[in-house]
Amino acid sequence: MHIDLKKEIKESGPGKTGLFILLLMVAMALLAPVIAPYNPYQQSTASLLPPSLSHWLGTNHVGQDIWSRLVFGARTSLLVGFGVGILSTLLGTIFGVSAALVGGFYEKVLMRIVDAFIVIPMVIVVILISAYIRPSILTLILLLSLLSWQGGARIMRAQALSLKERGNVTAAKSFGASRFYIAWRHVVPDLGPILLVDFIYGVRRAVFMEAGLAFLGISDPTVVSWGMMMRDALSFSYLNVWQWWLVPTGVALSLTIIGLTFVGHAAEPVIEPRLRGVEIA
Amino acid sequence: MLSKRNFITYAIAFVFILLLNFLLPRMMPGDPLTAIYGDEALIAMTPQLKAQLVERFALDQPLWQQFGAYFLALFQGQLGHSYYFNASVLSVILGRLPWTLLLVGTSLVLSTMLGIILGIESGWRRGSKTDRAMLAGLMSLNGFPDFFLGMLLLIAFGVTWGIFPLAGALTPYSGLSGLALLFDVLRHLFLPVAALTLAHLAGSYLLTRNTMITVLKEPYMLTARAKGLSQRVLKYRHAGRNSMLPVVTQTGIWTGRVVTGALFVELVFAYPGVGYLTYEALLARDYPIIQGVFLMVAISVLVANFLIDLSYPKLDPRVSYAY
């Protein structure tokens, strides 16, 4: 497993492109108040204006500045994405590594639950729950994390199973190290690259889901999001406003997901080393 | 051969789905009647009806008895009554189901087959310009949410060029029959299927390509080459067939994704399937329909996964030795 993740991403064309796109989006989200000329929630009578110097992407049906909403929408998308990415990777590591190290009945029960969650279609579960609770951003992050750590846990467990047979673990055990110490000092650090791949795919899933829920109209209606903007734009598809309303929003969302896909794919040899040596542009 | 392990996995998944559907409305704050029967039911509510509804799901009984009543009703095929559509949930869903099956079935077959063929071709030429272009192109396509692809197709081919209809599954009141009807259905089906197929093509493509690359390194490929077999036989019979196996195991998971993808695409094209129904029910807060759709979709995906698990050892004999 001695594959250098940084090198792997740097040597891949799409990997670099993906990283660049992601950094751009993150910068947009962080600097939103600086970049956006208007308050994204402020309504005005100037509705459905075409693009102009004062409104780069025109205004929407209630007179909000579309460019400002687009910029602030990046915050929602990335907040949910990174929030879920971090939490679900954390949960996956805790359950995956503990299953491998504790073993026995605990491992059996845990892995059956993990398998069960993998066959359940997550999107429809999230839609059902959201239909009832109309989640806020924080609830959505928790909900998506709870439903999406299972895939990672499986990979982490497999990896931890092989790591725990290594010499350094045996040595630590013979010195009387506790399971927790072994997990923390000897197993988790060696999971490094896998954690990152799991994290990236977690982020991607969450960005997708958040946009989808907002598009269906079951997300927090008080927070601007790309999915919600596309939903609004869809009802005006008979006008030419899609050119500056729908398309830029959809492109921003797609670019974010493409960026994540590229980085994830470039890093994938970490999980499947046999793919290495295949130059993928 | 079905292992015990598999069986337990599906049993847990099934119980989770039932419990979620049962507990969620009952844990909501406020009157459980609203959460179970939907907003529309309240308008029609009389004390008499209320007593009847409470009785039906044993809402004045302890939770476990409520679950008994719920499970019994399900077992008898009763998914409840939609007050919004004023019909039984089952009949509303069954009325919409054929359209969704048509949409999902066509897209699933098309995207899997195209994905496999492109994956084999791309993996065979790994590292070449064609391979790189295909990989980058399909991975980018993978980033487009299905509803965005749908909207782009709708605006381009529907609104701007007017080649395909904008909404629905049939021309209303056209009185078409026979071949003309078939043509009308296909014309309405084209854009939604295109959106779903394009959005889900990358999954089977990437997996086939990845497997293809590993398979090409196998010693038997060298043997086959040494025997002087033609490129076509090498590519499709020796490498291609073996590269398809992982795709088959994933089909269950993709079925789930395409079905949920259809929810979004149907909304864009106002295609009158189960997805559009879900959207209408979400707007009207018609919870019985939402619950019914959830139950049907989740369970069909489980069944699809289950059947694929069953068939897999037949396709790849190595699997049955492994257990």
pLDDT score at B47: 77
Q: At what angle do helices B4-27 and A104-119 cross, to 10 degrees?
A: 70
| B95-285: in CATH 3.30.590.10 | no
Average pLDDT over residues A73-102: 94
Chain B residues touching A261 at Cβ < 8 A? 139-140, 142-143
In angstroms, the CA A280 to CA A268 distance is 12
Number of domains in chain A: 1
pLDDT for A9-30, tens place per residue? 777 777 888 899 999 999 999 9
Mean predicted lDDT score pLDDT of chain A: 86
**Confidence label for A94 from pLDDT (cuts 50, 70 and 90):** very high
Residue A201 within a domain: yes
CB A200 within 8 A of CB A257: no
Residue A47 within a domain: no
Name the nearest CA neighbour of B215 among B187, B235, B243.
Answer: B243
pLDDT for A19-68, tens place per residue? 999 999 999 999 988 888 888 888 877 778 888 878 778 888 888 888 99
Cβ A215–B264 below 8 Å, yes or no?
Answer: yes
A132, A234, A274 member nearest B268 (Cβ) = A234
pLDDT for A234-270, tens place per residue? 888 778 888 888 899 999 999 999 999 888 888 877 6
Cβ A216–B282 below 8 Å, yes or no?
Answer: yes
Sequence ranges of the domains in chain B: 95-285
Domain holding A93: CATH number?
1.10.3720.10
Cβ A272–B17 below 8 Å, yes or no?
Answer: no
Best of B148, B198, B211, B264 to mutate (most A CBs within 10 Å, chain A): B148
**Domain residue limits at A91:** 5-37+56-275
In angstroms, the CA A231 to CA A9 distance is 35
List all residues of chain A from 75 to 104 with a beta carbon under 8 Å from chain B.
Answer: none
Average pLDDT over residues A87-104: 93
Q: What single DSSP character describes residue A50?
A: P
B28, B148, B305 member nearest A253 (Cβ) = B148
Tokens found for residue B4? 């015990």
Cβ A125–B20 below 8 Å, yes or no?
Answer: yes
Chain A residues touching B17 at Cβ < 8 A? 120, 125
In angstroms, the CA B122 to CA B209 distance is 6
Exposed / middle / buried, residue A173 (Cβ in 10 Å: 0-12, 13-18, 19+)? middle
List all residues of chain B from 102 to 161 with a beta carbon under 8 Å from chain A.
Answer: 126-127, 131-132, 135-136, 139-140, 142-145, 147-148, 151-152, 154-155, 159
Residue A42 within a domain: no
Best of B2, B8, B12, B36 to mutate (most A CBs within 10 Å, chain A): B12
Residue A256 within a domain: yes
pLDDT score at A89: 95
- Count CB neighbours of A27 within 10 A: 12
CB B232 within 8 A of CB B117: no
Residue of B nearest to A112 (CA): B9
Of B132-146, B152-166, B192-206, B241-255, minimum mean pLDDT range: B241-255
Whether the predicted interface score ipTM is above 0.90: no
**Total residue count of chain B as it appears in this document:** 323
- Chain A within 8 Å of B283 (Cβ-Cβ)? yes
pLDDT for B6-49, tens place per residue? 788 888 999 999 888 888 887 777 666 777 777 666 666 777 77
Longest alpha-carbon distance in chain B: 83
Cβ B297–A124 below 8 Å, yes or no?
Answer: yes
Query: Residue A276: is its pLDDT beyond 60?
Result: no
- Chain B within 8 Å of A230 (Cβ-Cβ)? yes
Average pLDDT over residues B266-291: 88
In angstroms, the CA B291 to CA B57 distance is 15
pTM: 0.86
pLDDT score at A214: 93
In angstroms, the CA A196 to CA A189 distance is 12
Cβ B143–A261 below 8 Å, yes or no?
Answer: yes
Cβ A116–B9 below 8 Å, yes or no?
Answer: yes
Mean predicted lDDT score pLDDT of chain B: 83
In angstroms, the CA B31 to CA B264 distance is 31
